[in-house]
């Protein structure tokens, strides 16, 4: 009986040790060390933005509807880049601000035109930037 308990205890210790080694090994392959992670290159830019910013999107139904219509129009255009599909659309009292990078001046104009088609030309503040080629 004692011998069986010792074998069971030994097996449990072996299993726990193996699990610990596997966990450490797996974790080291999944998450790179903190100093090896690439820091975002736009942190300062995001911090220093002039209003309106994305967190100032109005929550009333009309402004949410405007943002949804513009976003659907932009996403539906498969000729636009992923960057253009991901621009920030901020609606406040029927006025729209567009922010973020796109790949070309044509994309910038297309995104601005799609917003203007929803709210009118005079109600769009286009702060979209053409990103330098990578």
Q: Of the segments 34-38, 51-55, 127-131, which one has the largest average pLDDT value?
A: 127-131
Looking at the fold, whether 121 and 57 belong to one and the same domain comes out as yes
Residue 105 domain-assigned? Answer: yes
Please state the rounded mean pLDDT for residues 4-24: 67
pLDDT at 94 over 70: yes
Q: Are residues 71 and 122 in the same domain?
A: yes
Exposure letters 94-117 (e unless 16+ CB within 10 A, then b): ebbbbbbbbbeeebbebbbebbbe
Q: Are 68 and 23 part of one and the same domain?
A: no
Spatial separation of the C-alpha atoms in residues 5 and 21, rounded to whole Å: 24
Hey, what are 67's tokens? 């943002």
Check residue 59 and give its pLDDT.
Answer: 75
Q: What percentage of the chain exceeds 70 in pLDDT? A: 57
Q: The tokens of 57 are what?
A: 């999107």
Q: Are residues 67 and 119 in the same domain?
A: yes
Domain hosting 108: range is 52-130
Query: Per-residue confidence at 24, pLDDT binned at 50, 70, 90?
Result: low
pTM: 0.62
Residue 84 falls inside a structural domain = yes
Residues 65 and 117 in one domain: yes
User: Which pLDDT belongs to residue 118?
Assistant: 96
Asked if residue 102 lies in contact with residue 108, where contact means CB atoms within 8 angstroms, the answer is yes
d(CA 62, CA 71): 14
90 and 61 fall within a common domain:
yes
The verdict on residue 44 lying in a domain is no
Task: Give yes or no: residues 59 and 115 share one domain.
Answer: yes
Residue matched to tokens 């070309």? 104
Predicted pLDDT of residue 87: 93
Residue 70 lies in a domain: yes
Q: Are residues 64 and 124 in the same domain?
A: yes
Let me know whether 20 and 59 are in one domain.
no
Compute the average pLDDT of residues 30-58. Answer: 57
């Amino acid at each position: 009986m004692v011998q069986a308990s010792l074998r069971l205890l030994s097996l449990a210790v072996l299993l726990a040790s193996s699990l610990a080694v596997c966990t450490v090994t797996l974790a080291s392959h999944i998450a790179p060390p903190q100093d090896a992670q690439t820091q975002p290159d736009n942190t300062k830019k995001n911090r220093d933005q002039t209003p309106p910013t994305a967190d100032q999107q109005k929550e009333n139904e009309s402004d949410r509807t405007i943002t949804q219509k513009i976003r659907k129009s932009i996403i539906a255009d498969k000729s636009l880049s992923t960057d253009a599909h991901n621009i920030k659309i901020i609606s406040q009292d029927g006025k729209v601000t567009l922010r973020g990078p796109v790949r070309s001046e044509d994309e910038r104009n297309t995104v601005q035109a799609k917003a203007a088609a929803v709210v009118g030309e005079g109600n769009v503040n286009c702060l979209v930037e053409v990103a330098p080629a990578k």
